[in-house]
Structure 1
Amino acid sequence: MTIVRAYLRASTTDQDANRAKRQLQDFAEQHGFAIATYYSENASGSTLERPELMRLLSEAGAGDILLVEQIDRLARLNQDDWQQLKQLINAKGLKIVSPELPTSHALLNESQGFTSAVMQAVNGMLLDLLAATARKDYEDRRRRQVQGIEKAKQLGKFKGRQEDTKKQNAVKAMLKSGHSYNEIIESVSCSRALVAKVSKKIKEDQNSVAT
């Protein structure tokens, strides 16, 4: 029996890693599968230091599906790290499937033989291409960001990253009203990490007043 394990990732704590959950659910249902487990985290795709991804790899078995929204959710790694991740995935016998990669959809079926082998080979080449493209996009954006910051500094306009106080205030109000984390995440469109951050700040403020 094929087990589908969905991996969801966002780069920062201000982003919602679960944003693509509904899309992956719909994709799985369209292909006659149910997602068994979700692994969600806020971490950079440019590093292998991702606890939830490593947990997925440790829990997965041969033939399981590693489902991702896009390949860049899985990897924006340099070549060496991408090869290392692929070795870990291949050693576990996992199949990478993504809605954006039509050749991977055939891997949802347990068919064997020549056709299956060809599709896996083609899929592997496209995975390498998409991973390389994701890395280039990451490096290009980082370079533009550095250039933009340098120009802003020269003009005396650089203030650093600004927190979204409006969103934080909305989270704070809902927490004080007794809403659950899931209700807040859905209503405010924020990450669980942001809700936890605001909740911690509320408790710190309360403790400060008490003392």
Structure 2
Amino acid sequence: MSNFRTYAYLRASTKEQDATRAKEALLRFSNEHDLVISAFFAENESGAKLQRPELFRLLEIAQKGDVVLVEQIDRISRLKDDDWSSLKAIIKTKGLRIVSLDLPTSHQFAAVKDKFTERMLSAINDLMLDMLAAIARKDYEDRRRRQQEGIAKAKSEGRYRGRPLDLELQEKIEGMLLDKKSYDYIQHILGCSRSTISKVSKRLKSE
């Protein structure tokens, strides 16, 4: 019987996205690695924001040696460097182990038993975590920049008919398209036109 618990963290950026989408993947992983998920923590918050209620509730409950299981590192962090350093410090101080489906080096944390192996894995994993967190942040910033550039170009060509909420709407549509939601579903949830969804879809494909 393992002397640690496993907590699963699920996150989606907008309320229209399904934060529990990855639940089945995490359950499959836990079964394959003889883990028992003690609790799921799910929320709809931006990964670029440090203060996330469910994440911090998980961090408060978890004890030294416990595993925090996520689908991808960007579920935990799309944070700026200083915010990521703050979050990582909390994780390290509590002695928690991050296991992410997209980070194979972390999978061994699910079974490691001796201190030497744990320290070696921890050193390797810390480096990989920092790298993936930096990539996730860059992806977030690049996406925001492309949205701003697209609007600026449309304005200069006289094609822009947007309102202040257009950026937010586009981000929601983009998230739902990446989540493989249908046009009908997006139209029903957001109340936008199919042409708006199509424009966002074409931009995503061109990128």
TM-score by length of 2: 0.77
SS at match of 2:21: helix
Aligned partners of 1:46 and 1:78 also within 8 Å:
yes
**RMSD, aligned α-carbons:** 2.0
Deviations along 1:24-72, one digit per CA (max 9) or x if unpaired, are: 0000000011211111011111111211101101111111101110001
1:2 paired with 2:20, answer no
SS at match of 1:14: coil
CA separation in 2, counterparts of 1:34 and 1:166? Answer: 37
Counterpart of 1:167 in structure 2 is: 185
Q: Which runs of 5 or more structure 1 residues have no equivalent in the other structure?
A: 172-211
- Residues 166-205 of structure 1: pairs in structure 2 closer than 5 A: 166-167=184-185
Deviations along 1:55-102, one digit per CA (max 9) or x if unpaired, are: 101111111101110001100111110010011111211100011111
Counterpart of 1:146 in structure 2 is: 148
1:92 paired with 2:94, answer yes
Aligned partners of 1:67 and 1:98 also within 8 Å:
yes
Give the Å deviation of 1:169.
8.2
SS at match of 2:20: helix
1:121 paired with 2:123, answer yes
Please list every run of at least 4 consecutive aligned residues from structure 1 whose deviation after the TM superposition is greater than 4 angstroms: 162-166, 168-171
Deviations along 1:113-150, one digit per CA (max 9) or x if unpaired, are: 32221111001110000001111111111100111122
Counterpart of 1:189 in structure 2 is: none
Aligned pair count reads 171
Give the Å deviation of 1:156.
3.0
- Bigger Rg over Cα: 1
Give the Å deviation of 1:166.
4.5
Counterpart of 1:201 in structure 2 is: none
Identity between Structure 1 and Structure 2 (%) = 50
TM-score by length of 1: 0.75
